[in-house]
C-alpha cells in the first residue's frame, strides 16, 4: 500500500493545481535508506513555506511522528502485515533479535494548507494509516504537535520585553566598552598608565592580555595544554552525540560503535569533565597555600573565597543565559529549530534563577537551562564545601589533613558504589542500550555533587603536594618513574576502555561489577592525570611536558571557560537548522568538529573580551580593596625615638615568582643596610637601589633588593636553571615584630640591619628563600 501516495488526496480538496504541485513536491515521499537508519524525512521545508495561493492561505510544514508497536507473534496462520515488514527491516539492519515491541519513531514532514490545524492533520493521518493496524498484532501512535507546524509567518521572529531588555544591556555594554577602549588608547598615546577600573572594559587592553604568551613565573605550565585538550575532547563528544540524534542516512552503525576500540573515546568521553574538577581543586589548594604564605596576618577568608568565585564565573555565564533566553532563537529556522533552540529558550526563561544560584543540578533538572551547565553548579558547590578540607589543610598539621583527605576520598568511592548497587544502575552511561538506564545514571550519579567530589578532593591533595615540593627538586629513581608511567597509562586506558564489554548483547549485568566501576573509575582516571601533571612539573614527562607546556596553548587556555559556555550555541544551531539527511562518517565528524571548534573559539574571544576579562579585572580591584581593609599596615621601627614600632607605607607591591612551577609567589622588598650607630643613622644608610625612601626615624622597604658582594660570603640562592639569583627575600612582618629587621636566605641569618644581638630575629621566623 502506498501510504504517502494515499495521503496526497488531501491536496486535491482545494482543486487548485498551482497550489497542489509545489505542496506535494515539498512533502515527504516514500523514503530510501530506511534499513540503514533514514528514519527522519523532512521533505523540502523552505519550498513548503514559500507556497502561496490566491485564496488567502499558504503552505504549512508539519512534522508527524509515527511509531509502531508490534506484539508477539502467536505463530497462527495469517496474512503478512506491517509487523512482518518491520521485523524484516530490523533483520536487515542487523537488529536480528528484535521481533516485537516499539519500533523506531519515524518522522515525516507533510506540507499542508495553513488553514489546517495540527489536530486535523493528525486525524487525517490516522484515517490514512488505519488499514496498517492489525488487532492483536500491529498498533501505532501518531503525534502532530502544535509546535511542529510552521508557516512563513510563524518562523518570523517577534520581540518581547525580555528581548528588548537584553538588547538594551548589550547596547549599554557596547557603550562602556567603546568608552573604556577610547580612554585606554588615549592614555597609551600619552604614555600614561590608565586607571584599572576605567580601562577594565578596554578591548585593546583585554586583547593584549588574551594574546600574551608569557606565563607568570610561578604558574604550572602543563595546565594550559591540558585545559585545551580537555575542552576539545568535550566539544568533540558533544558534536558526535548531537550528530547521532540528528537526521542521518546511516544510523544503523550506531549500535555497533563499541566494536571499534577508538569509539570508546566518544562513548566514555564524559570522563574528561573530571579533569576540570581535578584542576579546579588543585589550583584552589595551591593558591590558598600561597596566600597564607604571603599574608602578614593570615586568616581564612571564606566569604572572600565565595565572592571571588561567584564574581569570577557569573557575569559571562549570566550573559550567555540571557542570550539563550532571548536572541539565540532569532538566529535561524528549520524543521527542528523549535525542538532544540526553542526548547532551550523556554527552559532558560523559566529556570534562569536556578543557574545563577548554581542549584540547577538539583532543581528542575528535567528543564535545565543550558544542558552543560550542570558542571558549573557542581563545581561551585565543591567550592562551597571546600573549607571542610581547606581549613584543616591550612590550619593543622599534615597528619590531620591527611586523615581528612583520606576520609573524603573513601566516601567519594563509597557513595556512588552504594547508590549504583542499591538502584541496580549501570556502571556508567551506556548510551544506546536501555534509555531508562542512561537517564537514571545521569540523574542519580552523573550530575550530583555527592557522587562527583572524588576528583576534586584528589585535586586538593595534589595542590598540597605540589606546594610542599615546590622549593626542591623531587628526585625519583628511574625504575620508579618507568613504573609510575606504566601504572598511570594502564590505569587511564582501563578506565576509558573498561566499559566496552558492557555494550555487548552477550554481557550479563553484574551488580558488583557495575558498582565497583561506578565507585572507582573517576578517581583512578584523575590519579593518572595527576601523575602526568606531577611528572611535567618535576621533569619526568619528557616530550609530553614540552607538548602540554607549549606557549601557544596559553591564549586558547584562557578561552576554555567561554568555550564551555558557548560551544552548544554552534552545535544546536546546526542540528536545529538541518534540512536534509546527512551521512555519519569519520571524515564528516572531523569536519563538523573542526568547524564547531573554530566557531566556538570565535564566540569565546568575543565573550572573553567583553564579559569575562573585564569582570576579572574588577574582581581583582575589589579583592585588593577588601584585603586592604582586612589587613593592617606593616610596622616600622622608629630608630630615633623610644624604639616604637610604626607603620610602613608600601607604595607598590611587586609580586614576583620564580620560573620553576614548583616555587612560590613571594614579595621581595628593598634591603637597606644601616652602618654605624643610631646617632648617625640618617647619614649611614647605604642604598642598594635608588627607589628606596627614607626619613629620619623611619625606614621604608619598597622594592626588590638586589644582592651585592656583601652577600657572597653566605649561601647563595640558586634558581631552577642552576643560575645564581641576584635577589633575596626579606620578611618584614616577622622581623619587625622582633624589634630589628633581619634578612634571611635559605633559613639562615645573613646580615642584621642592627648589629645588636639582642634584637636579632630568630631564623625560623624569617621568610625562607625559595631557592
The grid coordinates listed for 632 are 593592617
- At 664, which helix (H) or strand (E)? none
Per-residue confidence (pLDDT) for residue 234, from 0 to 100? 97
Least confident of 431-435, 499-503, 620-624, 644-648: 644-648
Mean per-residue pLDDT, 476-502: 95
pLDDT bracket for residue 630 (50, 70, 90): low
Mean per-residue pLDDT, 637-656: 32
pLDDT bracket for residue 27 (50, 70, 90): confident
- Nearest-angstrom CA–CA distance, 757 and 767: 19
Per-residue confidence (pLDDT) for residue 426, from 0 to 100? 95
Classify 74 as helix, strand or coil: coil
The grid coordinates listed for 541 are 614527562
- Nearest-angstrom CA–CA distance, 404 and 410: 10
| Backbone CA torsion sign across 659, 665, 666, 668 | positive
Per-residue confidence (pLDDT) for residue 19, from 0 to 100? 61
Least confident of 2-11, 140-149, 512-521, 618-627: 2-11
Question: Exposed, middle or buried, 441 (CB in 10 Å: 0-12/13-18/19+)?
Answer: buried
| 8 Å CB contact between 650 and 634 | yes
Task: Give the tens place of pLDDT for each residue, 289-310.
Answer: 988 888 777 788 898 899 999 9
Task: Give the tens place of pLDDT for each residue, 50-80.
Answer: 888 877 788 899 999 999 888 887 766 677 8
Per-residue confidence (pLDDT) for residue 627, from 0 to 100? 64
pLDDT greater than 70 at residue 674: no
Question: Exposed, middle or buried, 135 (CB in 10 Å: 0-12/13-18/19+)?
Answer: exposed
| Residue 608 Cα distances to 142, 210, 379, 456, angstroms | 46, 8, 20, 25
Instruction: Say what the alpha-carbon torsion angle 174, 180, 186, 188 is, to the nearest 10 degrees.
Output: -120
Radius of gyration, CA atoms only, the chain: 33
pLDDT bracket for residue 676 (50, 70, 90): very low
pLDDT greater than 90 at residue 703: no
Name the residue among 6, 27, 44, 29 with its Cα closest to residue 113. 27
Per-residue confidence (pLDDT) for residue 470, from 0 to 100? 86
Least confident of 326-340, 355-369, 464-478, 685-699: 685-699
3-state secondary structure string across 209-274: HHHCCCCCCCCCCHHHHHHHHHHHHHHHHHHHHHHHCCCECCCCCHHHHHHCHHHHHHHCHHHHHH
- The chain-wide mean pLDDT, for the chain, equals 80
Amino acid at each position: 500500500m502506498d501510504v504517502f501516495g494515499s495521503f496526497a488526496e488531501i491536496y486535491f480538496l482545494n482543486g487548485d493545481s498551482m497550489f497542489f504541485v509545489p505542496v506535494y513536491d515539498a512533502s515527504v515521499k516514500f523514503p530510501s535508506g530506511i534499513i540503514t537508519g533514514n528514519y527522519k524525512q523532512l521533505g523540502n521545508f523552505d519550498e513548503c513555506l514559500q507556497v502561496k495561493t490566491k485564496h488567502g492561505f499558504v503552505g504549512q510544514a508539519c512534522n508527524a511522528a509515527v511509531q509502531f508497536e508490534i506484539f508477539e507473534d502467536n505463530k497462527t496462520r495469517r496474512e503478512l502485515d506491517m509487523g512482518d515488514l518491520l521485523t524484516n527491516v530490523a533483520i536487515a539492519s542487523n537488529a536480528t533479535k528484535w521481533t516485537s515491541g516499539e519500533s523506531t519513531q519515524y518522522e515525516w514532514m507533510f506540507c499542508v494548507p495553513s488553514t489546517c490545524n495540527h489536530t486535523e492533520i493528525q486525524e487525517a493521518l490516522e484515517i490514512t494509516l488505519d488499514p496498517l493496524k492489525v488487532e492483536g498484532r500491529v498498533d501505532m501512535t501518531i503525534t502532530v504537535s502544535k509546535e511542529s507546524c510552521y508557516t512563513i509567518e510563524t518562523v518570523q521572529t517577534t520581540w518581547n520585553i525580555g528581548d528588548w531588555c537584553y538588547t538594551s544591556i548589550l547596547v549599554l555594554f557596547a557603550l562602556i566598552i567603546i568608552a573604556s577602549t577610547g580612554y585606554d588608547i588615549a592614555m597609551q598615546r600619552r604614555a600614561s598608565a590608565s586607571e584599572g577600573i576605567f580601562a577594565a572594559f578596554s578591548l585593546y587592553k583585554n586583547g593584549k592580555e588574551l594574546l600574551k604568551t608569557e606565563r607568570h613565573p610561578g604558574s604550572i605550565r602543563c595546565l594550559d595544554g591540558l585545559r585545551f585538550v580537555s575542552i576539545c575532547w568535550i566539544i568533540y563528544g558533544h558534536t558526535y552525540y548531537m550528530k547521532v540524534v540528528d537526521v542521518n542516512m546511516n544510523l544503523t552503525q550506531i549500535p555497533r560503535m563499541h566494536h571499534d576500540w577508538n569509539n570508546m573515546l566518544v562513548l566514555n568521553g564524559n570522563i574528561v569533565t573530571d579533569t576540570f574538577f581535578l584542576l579546579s581543586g588543585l589550583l584552589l589548594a595551591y593558591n590558598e597555600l600561597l596566600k597564607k604564605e604571603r599574608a602578614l596576618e593570615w586568616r581564612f577568608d571564606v566569604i572572600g573565597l565565595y565572592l571571588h568565585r561567584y564574581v569570577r564565573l557569573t557575569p559571562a555565564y549570566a550573559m550567555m543565559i540571557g542570550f539563550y533566553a532571548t536572541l539565540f532563537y532569532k538566529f535561524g529556522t528549520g524543521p527542528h529549530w523549535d525542538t532544540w533552540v526553542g526548547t532551550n529558550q523556554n527552559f532558560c526563561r523559566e529556570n534562569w534563577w536556578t543557574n545563577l544560584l548554581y542549584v540547577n543540578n538539583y532543581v528542575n533538572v528535567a528543564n535545565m537551562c543550558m544542558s552543560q551547565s550542570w558542571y558549573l553548579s557542581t563545581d561551585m558547590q565543591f567550592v562551597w564545601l571546600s573549607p571542610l578540607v581547606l581549613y584543616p589543610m591550612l590550619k593543622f598539621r599534615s597528619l590531620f589533613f591527611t586523615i581528612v583527605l583520606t576520609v573524603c576520598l573513601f566516601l567519594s568511592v563509597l557513595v556512588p558504589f552504594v547508590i549504583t548497587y542499591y538502584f541496580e544502575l549501570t556502571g556508567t552511561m551506556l548510551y544506546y542500550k536501555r534509555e531508562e538506564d542512561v537517564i537514571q545514571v545521569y540523574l542519580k550519579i552523573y550530575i550530583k555533587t555527592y557522587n562527583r567530589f572524588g576528583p576534586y578532593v584528589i585535586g586538593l591533595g595534589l595542590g598540597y603536594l605540589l606546594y610542599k615540593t615546590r622549593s626542591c627538586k623531587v628526585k625519583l629513581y628511574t625504575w620508579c618513574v618507568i613504573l609510575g608511567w606504566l601504572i598511570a597509562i594502564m590505569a587511564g586506558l582501563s578506565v576509558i576502555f573498561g566499559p566496552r564489554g558492557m555494550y555487548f548483547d552477550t554481557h550479563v549485568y553484574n551488580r558488583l561489577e557495575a558498582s565497583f566501576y561506578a565507585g572507582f573509575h573517576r578517581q583512578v582516571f584523575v590519579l593518572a592525570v595527576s601523575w602526568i601533571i606531577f611528572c611535567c612539573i618535576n621533569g619526568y614527562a619528557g616530550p609530553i611536558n614540552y607538548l602540554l607546556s607549549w606557549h601557544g596553548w596559553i591564549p586558547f587556555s584562557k578561552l576554555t571557560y567561554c568555550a564551555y559556555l558557548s560551544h552548544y550555541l554552534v552545535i544546536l544551531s546546526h542540528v536545529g537548522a538541518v534540512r536534509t539527511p546527512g551521512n555519519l562518517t569519520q571524515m564528516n565528524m572531523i569536519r563538523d568538529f573542526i568547524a564547531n571548534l573554530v566557531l566556538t573559539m570565535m564566540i569565546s574571544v568575543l565573550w572573553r573580551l567583553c564579559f569575562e576579562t573585564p569582570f576579572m579585572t574588577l574582581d581583582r580591584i575589589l579583592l585588593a580593596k577588601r584585603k586592604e581593609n582586612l589587613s593592617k599596615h606593616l610596622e616600622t621601627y622608629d630608630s630615633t625615638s623610644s624604639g616604637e614600632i610604626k607603620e610602613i607605607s608600601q607604595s607598590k607591591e611587586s609580586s614576583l615568582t620564580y620560573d620553576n612551577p614548583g616555587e612560590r609567589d613571594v614579595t621581595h622588598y628593598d634591603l637597606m643596610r644601616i652602618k654605624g650607630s643610631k646617632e648617625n643613622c640618617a647619614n649611614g644608610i647605604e642604598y642598594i637601589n635608588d627607589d628606596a625612601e627614607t626619613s629620619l626615624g623611619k625606614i621604608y622597604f619598597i622594592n626588590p633588593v638586589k644582592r651585592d658582594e656583601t652577600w657572597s660570603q653566605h649561601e647563595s640562592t640558586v634558581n631552577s636553571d642552576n643560575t645564581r639569583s641576584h635577589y633575596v627575600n626579606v620578611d618584614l612582618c616577622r622581623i619587625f615584630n622582633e624589634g630589628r629587621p633581619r634578612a634571611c636566605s635559605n633559613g639562615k641569618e645573613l646580615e642584621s640591619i642592627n648589629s645588636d644581638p639582642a634584637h636579632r630575629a630568630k631564623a625560623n621566623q624569617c621568610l625562607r628563600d625559595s631557592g
